[in-house]
Amino acid sequence: MNFRDTRGRKRVEPTLDLTPLIDVVFLLLIFFLITTSFVQSDDQQLPLNLPRAAAGESPTQGEKVTLFVQKDGSLQIGDEQIRAGEVRKRLEELFKADPSVQLNVKGDRDTAYGSVTTLIDEAREVGFEKVNLVVKRKQP
């Protein structure tokens, strides 16, 4: 027994509306783009005007610590500001934590040559075997 009157009505086919699904996908994409922490290079952390050199080689892979020397003489290891008197102590701590770590020295082009040389010398005295002076490659 069929109590419905289906003679005058057309049957509606069920459909899937994709518009809300697309909206949700775009919202998720925006959410992940905003919340993702992007990897920053050292150049974005501390803007320095590096000297240029034609010769040089890329440092080998491994654990690296970067020592920044700004033109006003201020120093920074990684994200930590340090005073000139604390450099040796901080380098000793880093070396004791991992003796195979590489030290990259990034000095501003206008930094006094003697201050960068002193820092490299202190790193060698502490025990760092891999000390790299970072420069920008000259464009041919």
Cross-strand bridge partners of residue 76: 68, 81
- In the structure encoding, which two tokens stand for residue 51, read together? 């000297």
Position 114 scores a pLDDT of: 84
CA distance 8 to 67: 83
Q: Is the pLDDT of residue 27 over 90?
A: yes
CA distance 102 to 66: 8
Q: Which domains does the chain have, with CATH numbers?
A: 42-137 (3.30.420.270)
Average pLDDT along the chain: 78
13 or 26, higher pLDDT: 26
Residue 42 identity (one-letter amino acid): D
Per-residue pLDDT of 100-126, as tens digits, reads 888 888 888 888 888 888 888 888 898
Contacts of residue 53, Cβ cutoff 8 Å, sequence gap at least 6:
135, 136, 137, 138
CA distance 123 to 130: 9
Q: Is the pLDDT of residue 39 over 80?
A: no
